Chains A and B, each alone.
Chain A
Amino acid sequence: MNLKLKALTKSIWVFHAACSPCNNCDIEVLDLLTPRYDVERFGIILAGSVRHADALLVTGVPNYKTAQRIKKLYEQAPKPCFVIAVGSCACGRNMFRESYNSPCNLDEIIPVDIYISGCPPKPEAMIAGIVKLIKKVGSSKGY
């Protein structure tokens, strides 16, 4: 594992981008920061700009208006950058699959590293997902 990746797994700064979610996933993400779950103790905080972030957390189904913006956001992120898809919407478009305003899955726009499904996933599930990601990156040689 190279140095950059090693540093990346230490305390992950997350940029949260909502591309037309129903808000619930976003609220649960914010919930992670509040006293009960308090992920700040692991060094995880929300970054104000994607250029300062180690991970891009995406919620919701991409629609025509947000799809291009998500792509641009990913392009602006310093690499390597994890992409975390939170919620069934971001993982596979949930029940909005047939919508006229939902062109494609998120992973057809940007490469997704980890899918946390659930509608919305519980905060515990999100923490478990991130732990799995870190473990996997830690154990892999190349990435």
Chain B
Amino acid sequence: MSHKVIIPIGPYHPLQEEPEFFRLYIEGERVIDIDIVIGYNHRGIEELSEHKHFDQVAYLVERICGICSTSHPFAYVNAIEDLAHIQVPERALYIRTIIAEMERIHSHLLWLGLAGHFIGYNTVWMWAWRYREPILDCFEMITGNRNHYAMMKPGGVRRDILEEHISPLKKTLDELNKATDMFYGAVVDDPVIKARLKGIGILTKEQARNWCVVGPTARASGIDIDVRRDDPYGAYDRVDFNVIVEKEGDIFAKTLVRIKELYESIRIIRQCLDKMPKGEIETKIKEIPAGEGIGRVEAPRGECFHYVRSDGTNRPIRHKIRAPSYMNVASNKIAAVGGTISDAAITLAAVDPCYCCTERCSVIRKKDNQKLLTGWDLIKLSQEKTEKLKKEMGL
């Protein structure tokens, strides 16, 4: 059968936890085109930021995204420190690095769980999220909150890592190392996961470069980039770690990159805990001069970029944010097209999209001559989708 069918996914779809809208154009079983409609998550953060003073902005950018809730403030404080030429105490740099790596662990585990869920492996979901809990406990112990840690502030960090925090954290890391071994084994050896993920949603090196993807998505396609190594911030130049690169560019490679990065993150935290010097955790800032600064951070999903311009008052007059998903989401167009409809869900999820991050600055809406299907009749859409799926599978 080769008539063209449009399958809408979203904006409220049981599979997604964020509102986003994909329109898949299907011919038979193949996805021939895809439209990505975002803008459901736009909150105007860049504009809000211009009405808050420099200390408050750290809290605001933290709320861009709950999963990378340290990456944005981290990039922001880097930008401020670049702007005002602030020397941050050594200990604060190490604490920042530890928090950022803990976040990478929790984010990658979260993705692993969701990926398992998307291919119908709820066991993977449950296990991955089970091992995420101890990390959240450590966050709660150190920062006082399970998410939204509020650790970063221009000039340093808000809370210290105390002596009594170190041994529980190390214990958690040991357990996590074992769990990662288990996940690694489970993913590499499992024939079903291999069959579902190998050769699916391929993004070649060249395509990856053309679409400017960043982070694990780029590294899985053989592009060797990592801000942590290429432009060290925090304490990354004082620790030893590997940048994981895979060649294949399929979803299996993306999974492998993320699992292997778990090991690296554990290694980085251990080194930081051992090397962390004693001393102050923040530099007092008297004023922020006029000027501009940039901050880059390797968020769990890729490079996160902040630009801040100040005119010498206590507020930024311009704050520009570029989140990693902004680059990665567009590459779905390449990865999903040509695949089958049953692989679409995992392919769309493979870049670990984060619409909260992406949608702070602009509402993007693709206009075309197709009728825009709104999400008003959820059940109908949902049933339609299942029915189409069934029909196509039966044919």
Interface residues, chain A, with chain B CB atoms under 8 Å away: 16-31, 34-36, 46-51, 60-61, 63, 65-66, 69, 72-73, 76, 94-96, 98-102, 119-120, 122
In the bound assembly, the distance between CA atoms of A19 and B129 in angstroms comes to 24
Of residues B17, B43, B44, B125, which shows the largest number of chain A Cβ atoms within 10 Å of its Cβ? B43
User: Closest residue of chain B to A30, judged by CB?
Assistant: B17
User: Closest residue of chain A to B382, judged by CB?
Assistant: A49
Interface stretch of the complex, out of B58-66, B76-84, B334-342: B58-66
Chain B proximity of A35: nearest CB distance (Å): 5
- Beyond contacts A17-B19, A34-B129: 4 other A-B pairs, Cβ-Cβ < 8 A, are A20-B43, A48-B14, A50-B378, A120-B148
Contact B12 A96 (CB under 8 A): no
In the bound assembly, the distance between CA atoms of A54 and B60 in angstroms comes to 34
Contact B11 A69 (CB under 8 A): yes
Please name all residues of chain A whose beta carbon is closer than 8 Å to the beta carbon of B363 when the two chains form the complex: 65
Please name all residues of chain B whose beta carbon is closer than 8 Å to the beta carbon of A95 when the two chains form the complex: 48, 59-60, 63
Name the interface size band of chain B: 35 or more
Interface residues, chain B, with chain A CB atoms under 8 Å away: 11-12, 14, 17-19, 39-45, 47-48, 51, 59-60, 63-67, 69, 110, 113, 125-126, 129-130, 133, 146-148, 354, 356, 359, 363, 375-379, 382
- Which among A28, A30, A66 is the interface contact of B40 at CB below 8 angstroms? A66
Contact B130 A120 (CB under 8 A): no
Contact B129 A22 (CB under 8 A): no
In the bound assembly, the distance between CA atoms of A49 and B385 in angstroms comes to 13
Contact A36 B130 (CB under 8 A): yes
Please name all residues of chain A whose beta carbon is closer than 8 Å to the beta carbon of B51 when the two chains form the complex: 98
Contact B43 A96 (CB under 8 A): yes
- Which among B12, B64, B130, B375 is the interface contact of A35 at CB below 8 angstroms? B130
Top 10 nearest A-B pairs (CB, nearest first) are A24-B66, A34-B129, A23-B66, A99-B44, A48-B14, A26-B17, A20-B41, A101-B44, A24-B147, A22-B66
Chain B proximity of A139: nearest CB distance (Å): 32
Chain B proximity of A20: nearest CB distance (Å): 4
Chain B proximity of A96: nearest CB distance (Å): 5
Please name all residues of chain B whose beta carbon is closer than 8 Å to the beta carbon of A16 when the two chains form the complex: 17
Please name all residues of chain B whose beta carbon is closer than 8 Å to the beta carbon of A65 when the two chains form the complex: 39-40, 42, 363
In the bound assembly, the distance between CA atoms of A124 and B345 in angstroms comes to 31
Contact B17 A18 (CB under 8 A): yes
Contact A120 B17 (CB under 8 A): no
Contact A20 B67 (CB under 8 A): no
Contact A20 B148 (CB under 8 A): no
User: Closest residue of chain A to B110, judged by CB?
Assistant: A27
Contact A20-B17, Cβ < 8 Å, known A99-B48, A102-B44: no
Contact A20 B44 (CB under 8 A): no
Contact A25-B66, Cβ < 8 Å, known A16-B17, A73-B12: yes
In the bound assembly, the distance between CA atoms of A51 and B377 in angstroms comes to 10
Sampled A-B contacts (9; CB under 8 Å): A20-B19, A20-B356, A21-B18, A21-B66, A27-B147, A30-B129, A35-B130, A96-B63, A119-B63
User: Closest residue of chain A to B140, judged by CB?
Assistant: A122
- Which among B133, B148, B377, B378 is the interface contact of A119 at CB below 8 angstroms? B148
- Which among B43, B133, B356, B377 is the interface contact of A63 at CB below 8 angstroms? B43
In the bound assembly, the distance between CA atoms of A63 and B110 in angstroms comes to 27
In the bound assembly, the distance between CA atoms of A93 and B313 in angstroms comes to 27
Please name all residues of chain B whose beta carbon is closer than 8 Å to the beta carbon of A101 when the two chains form the complex: 42-44
Please name all residues of chain B whose beta carbon is closer than 8 Å to the beta carbon of A17 when the two chains form the complex: 12, 19
Chain A proximity of B129: nearest CB distance (Å): 4
Please name all residues of chain B whose beta carbon is closer than 8 Å to the beta carbon of A34 when the two chains form the complex: 113, 125-126, 129-130, 133
Contact B126 A99 (CB under 8 A): no
In the bound assembly, the distance between CA atoms of A101 and B65 in angstroms comes to 17
Contact A48-B17, Cβ < 8 Å, known A23-B356, A69-B12: no
